[in-house]
């Protein structure tokens, strides 16, 4: 089956298959490594029907992005920017050369209902007798859908119900997912239920640019916070844990030591005590292919005590609520106007105001203390016994924060020239172009900034000193 995008109306169509047809099937050769697939004019139903062998027709107008690689196993880095349907078809052929697949890049939606995906097209392709039967549906093929856009599901379901076509409806919606078999005249259809929590048109999805830079509703802020939580406390720790499992599980301090050294491309002290030469070379080569700037920054900021947790929380406060707003105002100054002369900063876009940290502000305190406690829980760091985290006395918490932040210097804001997406429709294209540019320049994943390098060297030194101390004590 194809892999589908949220804004497209895509499907896979499987015409009738008899068990005896499954043997001796020949493959229709098609070069799906090129970015384009079959155009509408190249799909001839008569020629498809002339061949009695089973056929899988897939369509998806979307192209592969880097974000697809970690959850869609048919796609790899070399496919970024290529057609999803074409690459999926070629990958399926490589797994089973007997498959006959035709790939397209067209949407199945009202705009081409009268020109391409007409009733006649679908009936002739799916039904052996080329007609619909209301009394006793003839044996037919099946429509397979995997969409994460509710309106497209409802449209496709309506088409299949009206034409009496079997439909395997599946897809995702946020954290939800489902699979539903819809048989003409036998089962309810997708539109029979309204359990998507959003009425006839389904729930409103949040565009990427809105979530990252231009929130307009409180729900946008909640979703932004959820994404940050998942990144800091779930995804990155899981990735780091996966890397550490290839090292000595009984000596976690040495695990981090080797990982820091690999990030900095320097040898570790006493490395011969960890592995044999061959094993060390294998592990180093594997680590080099897995490490990224994001993981390096996460590891460099990893606190080792409670005050470190508070300082990291203070860093995050500065970047989330001050630097982000200043970057937006740098990229789009208040006087910025659109091509038609209207102000850029007008509703629904809200001009941001950089937040200056105040240790006595209850909201600021709550963020720092909550973030710090989550970090401490994640890293099994003991909480200070002399602090009442539920105390309504903001002065006591302010004093505690001041003590933890002694000699602390917040990160300095440095304007970036990175492009900020302002239109939800351009996000996909920008992402693909960025990935292609990275690939063309070599895309060195470890071009670390000076702050990260200093922090990693400090971490490495502390870990090496701890190892030496333990050795002396023993």
**Structure confidence at residue 296 (pLDDT):** 65
- Is the distance from CB of 21 to CB of 52 less than 8 angstroms? yes
Q: Which of 209, 260, 309, 404 is catalytic?
A: 209
Edge-to-edge strands of the sheet including 101-104? 101-104, 56-59, 11-14, 142-146, 167-173, 176-182
- Count CA within 13 A, CB hemisphere, residue 194: 5
Residue 367 vs residues 34, 168, 302, 315, 400: alpha-carbon distances, Å: 49, 46, 18, 12, 14
Any catalytic annotation for residue 209?
yes
How high is the pLDDT of residue 457? 67
Query: What's the CATH superfamily of 11-205?
Result: NAD(P)-binding Rossmann-like Domain (3.40.50.720)
* Residues ≥6 apart with Cβ < 8 Å to 204: 198
- Asked if 322 and 355 touch (Cβ cutoff 8 Å), the reply is yes
pTM of the model: 0.48
The pLDDT value recorded for residue 171 is 76
Q: Which residues contact 173 (CB under 8 A, 6 or more apart)?
A: 148, 150, 196, 202, 203
C-beta atoms surrounding 339 within 10 Å: 5
Each of the 474 residues of the chain gets a pLDDT tens digit; together they read: 333 333 333 455 555 544 444 333 332 222 332 333 334 445 555 555 556 667 889 999 888 988 788 778 889 889 988 999 999 999 999 998 888 899 999 988 888 888 999 988 888 887 655 444 444 445 468 999 988 778 888 899 989 888 888 999 987 776 677 888 988 888 988 888 766 555 444 445 667 677 778 887 788 888 888 888 888 888 777 776 666 665 555 555 556 666 666 665 555 545 444 445 555 566 556 555 566 666 666 666 778 889 888 999 999 999 999 999 999 999 899 998 888 888 888 877 888 999 999 988 999 999 999 999 998 988 888 888 888 887 777 888 888 888 889 888 888 888 888 777 776 444 433 333 444 444 333 334 456 566 666 666 666 666 555 545 444 444
Q: Which of 216, 212, 257, 244 is nearest to 231 (CA)?
A: 212
Burial 182-194 (b: 16+ CB within 10 A, else e): bebeeeebbeeee
Q: Nearest CA to 405 among 449, 347, 453, 365?
A: 365
Q: Where are the domains of the chain?
A: 11-205
Task: Please tell me the distance from the alpha carbon of residue 274 to that of residue 254, in angstroms, as a whole number.
Answer: 8
Q: What is the rounded (10 degree) CA torsion for 143, 149, 150, 153?
A: -10
CB atoms within 10 A of CB 162: 11
Structure tokens belonging to residue 191: 């539109």
Closest of 315, 445, 290 to residue 375, by C-alpha: 315
- 9-26 in b/e form (b: 16+ CB < 10 A) is bbbbbbbbbeeeeeeeee
């Amino acid at each position: 089956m194809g892999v589908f995008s949220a804004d497209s109306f895509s499907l896979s169509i499987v015409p009738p298959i008899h068990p005896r047809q499954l043997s001796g099937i020949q493959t229709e050769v098609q070069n799906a490594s090129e970015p384009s697939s079959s155009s509408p004019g190249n799909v001839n139903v008569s020629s498809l029907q002339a061949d009695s062998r089973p056929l899988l027709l897939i369509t998806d107008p979307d192209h592969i992005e880097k974000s697809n690689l970690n959850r869609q196993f048919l796609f790899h880095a070399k496919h970024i920017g290529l057609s999803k349907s074409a690459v999926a078809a070629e990958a399926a052929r490589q797994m089973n050369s007997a498959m006959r697949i035709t790939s397209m890049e067209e949407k199945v939606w009202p705009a081409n209902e009268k020109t391409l995906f007409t009733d006649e097209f679908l009936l002739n392709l799916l039904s052996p007798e080329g007609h619909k039967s209301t009394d006793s549906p003839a044996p037919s093929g099946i429509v397979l859908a995997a969409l994460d856009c509710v309106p497209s599901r409802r449209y496709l379901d309506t088409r299949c119900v009206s034409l009496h076509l079997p439909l395997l409806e599946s897809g995702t919606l946020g954290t939800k997912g489902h699979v539903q078999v819809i048989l003409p005249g036998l089962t309810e259809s997708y539109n029979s239920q309204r359990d998507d929590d959003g009425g006839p048109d389904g729930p409103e999805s949040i565009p990427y640019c809105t979530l990252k830079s231009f929130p307009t509703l409180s729900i946008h802020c909640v979703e932004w916070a959820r994404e940050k939580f998942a990144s800091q406390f779930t995804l990155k720790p899981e990735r780091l844990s996966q890397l550490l499992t290839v090292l000595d599980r009984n000596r976690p301090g040495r695990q981090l030591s080797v990982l820091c050294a690999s990030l900095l491309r320097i040898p570790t002290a006493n490395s011969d005590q960890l592995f044999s030469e061959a094993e060390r070379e294998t592990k180093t080569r594997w680590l080099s292919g897995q490490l990224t700037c994001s993981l390096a920054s996460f590891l460099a900021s990893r606190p080792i005590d409670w005050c470190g947790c508070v300082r990291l929380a203070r860093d995050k406060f500065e970047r989330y609520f001050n630097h982000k707003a200043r970057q937006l105002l740098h990229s789009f100054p208040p006087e910025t106007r659109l091509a038609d002369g209207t102000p850029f900063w007008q509703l629904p876009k809200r001009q941001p105001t950089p937040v200056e940290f105040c240790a006595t502000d209850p909201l600021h305190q709550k963020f720092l203390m909550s973030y710090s406690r989550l970090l401490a829980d994640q890293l099994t760091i003991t909480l200070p016994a002399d602090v009442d985290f539920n105390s309504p006395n903001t002065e006591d918490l302010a004093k505690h924060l001041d003590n933890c932040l002694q000699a602390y210097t917040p990160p300095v804001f440095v304007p970036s020239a990175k492009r900020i997406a302002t239109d939800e429709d351009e996000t996909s294209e920008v992402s693909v172009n960025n990935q292609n540019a990275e690939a063309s320049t070599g895309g060195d994943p470890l071009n670390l900034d000076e702050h990260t390098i200093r922090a990693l060297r400090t971490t490495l030194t502390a870990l090496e000193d701890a190892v030496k101390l333990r050795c002396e004590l023993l």
